[in-house]
Amino acid sequence: MKETPFIKYHEKLGGKIVSFAGFNMPVEYSGITDEHINVREKLGVFDVSHMGEFWVIGTKSYRFVQHITSNDVSRLTDGQVQYSYFPNGKGGIIDDLLVYRFSNEKYLMVVNAANIEKDWNWCVENATKAGLVPGQDILNASDDIAQLAIQGPLALKAMQKLTDYPVEEMKFYTFVEVNFAGIENVIFSTTGYTGAGGCEIYIPNKNSSELWEAVMKAGEEYGIKPIGLGARDTLRLEMGYCLYGNDIDDNTSPIEAGLGWVTKFTDNNNFIDKDLLFRQKEEGVSKRLKGFEMIDRGIPRQHYKVTDNNANLIGEVTSGTMSPMMKKGIGMAYLEKEFWKEGTEIYILIRNKSLKAKVVKLPIYKG
């Protein structure tokens, strides 16, 4: 089992360590609800060093990234970040990811921890076809990079104390390379998986201790807390962000998953599965991923069945939890077309009981 460079801090702070994506990771410290609320109202720090990072460099890098990802990389300028996914050539999704543009000949792709090996093999296969040399033009730096996510409305205010660059003025989904906490060439990115604002910071593993201690000290006056995987999941679900393996996978259509907004059918974007997905968009799909909130009291979970008021099966829950902010059960589910409209009543089968819920527009939490 792998460990991130921050494991000593997780253990020292009493984090409950679990196995996740091949890593020993903290699932919670003070409790999921407490950590969740702290991020929504103040700020929290997440160890996300288990994520994967692939560099793509050289004259063929733009064309390669444009082909292998669904979004339109031509819209990026230096210092911008783009949410995207890898189509799998069969109408499904290899993984979702972030694409960072450093220049037209230098990109960073950040992928999910559980999919690093699969994603790397997919990239190598397609890079070789495109004339890129693995280990030279495309590099797997996942084991060399540590990453912290500082999330919450006070995150940038706290982090501003650690750099002269005006990070509080940065636009969403942009990044800079800066001197941060005395560490040179830090990648500071205004991205995150919580919907609460904040940043993600990439550094070499060797600088992990000085980064952690500087971040915690800078955030102390604002009430910073370490946050585990549990609250990371409840935070993303309140926003309706997809989790690979739950809401999307190799067998789910990105059009059905509501990812049409990062599937760009432009003339200069001949990405994998373009024609197939364009047909789906034009002809429509029979099911779609929708958010819902419980009307009756109950907590929905993955794989719970969804029915109409006549007990006819109409879908299945992909993600579900008790919302710490809303104090009610929430979730996402693939639903048949007649049940997509906001406000439509549906029923979740929870412990052999049919409990009422309603379809809601994402994000589920509107605060």
Query: Closest Cα partner for 162 from 189, 185, 182?
Result: 182
pLDDT of 225 reads 98
For domain 52-140, which architecture applies? 2-Layer Sandwich (3.30)
pLDDT in tens, 217-244: 999 999 999 999 999 999 999 999 999 9
Domain boundaries of the chain, sorted by first residue: 2-50+144-238, 52-140, 286-367
CATH number of 2-50+144-238: 3.30.1360.120
Mean pLDDT across 315-339: 98
Query: What's the pLDDT at 224?
Result: 98
Q: What pLDDT was estimated at residue 47?
A: 98
Q: State the Cα–Cα distance between residues 169 and 216, nearest whole angstrom.
A: 22
pLDDT of res. 211: 98
What is the predicted pLDDT for the residue at 193? 98
CA-based nearest residue to 4, from 194, 17, 336, 358? 17
Tell me the per-residue pLDDT of 126-161, one tens digit each, with 9 for 90 and over: 999 999 999 999 999 999 999 999 999 999 999 999
- Exposure class string for 252-279: b at 16+ Cβ within 10 A, else e: bbbbbbbbbebbbeeeebebbbbeebee
Tens-place pLDDT, residues 246-280:
999 999 999 999 999 999 999 999 999 999 999 99
3-state helix, strand, coil in the chain (%, to 5): 25, 35, 35
Q: What is the mean pLDDT of residues 310-336?
A: 98
Q: What percent of the chain has pLDDT over 90?
A: 99
Q: What CATH fold (topology level) applies to the domain 286-367?
A: Elongation Factor Tu (Ef-tu); domain 3 (2.40.30)
Region 170-192: mean pLDDT is 98
Give pLDDT, residue 20: 96
Which tens digit of pLDDT belongs to each residue from 93-132?
A: 999 999 999 999 999 999 999 999 999 999 999 999 999 9
Q: What is the mean pLDDT of residues 55-63?
A: 98
pLDDT tens-digit map of 26-36? 999 999 999 99
What secondary structure does DSSP assign to 30-61, as a single string?
S-HHHHHHHHHHS-EEEE-TTSEEEEEESTTH
Q: Are 118 and 55 in contact (CB under 8 A)?
A: no
Cα torsion 228, 233, 239, 243 to 10°: value is 130
Give the orientation angle of helix 116-129 with respect to helix 61-68, to 10 degrees. 120
| Contact status, residue 97 vs residue 173, Cβ threshold 8 Å | no
Closest CA to 46 of 137, 145, 152, 132: 152
Structure confidence by residue, pLDDT tens digits, 72-90 = 999 999 999 999 999 999 9
Would you call 348 helix, strand, or coil by DSSP? Answer: strand
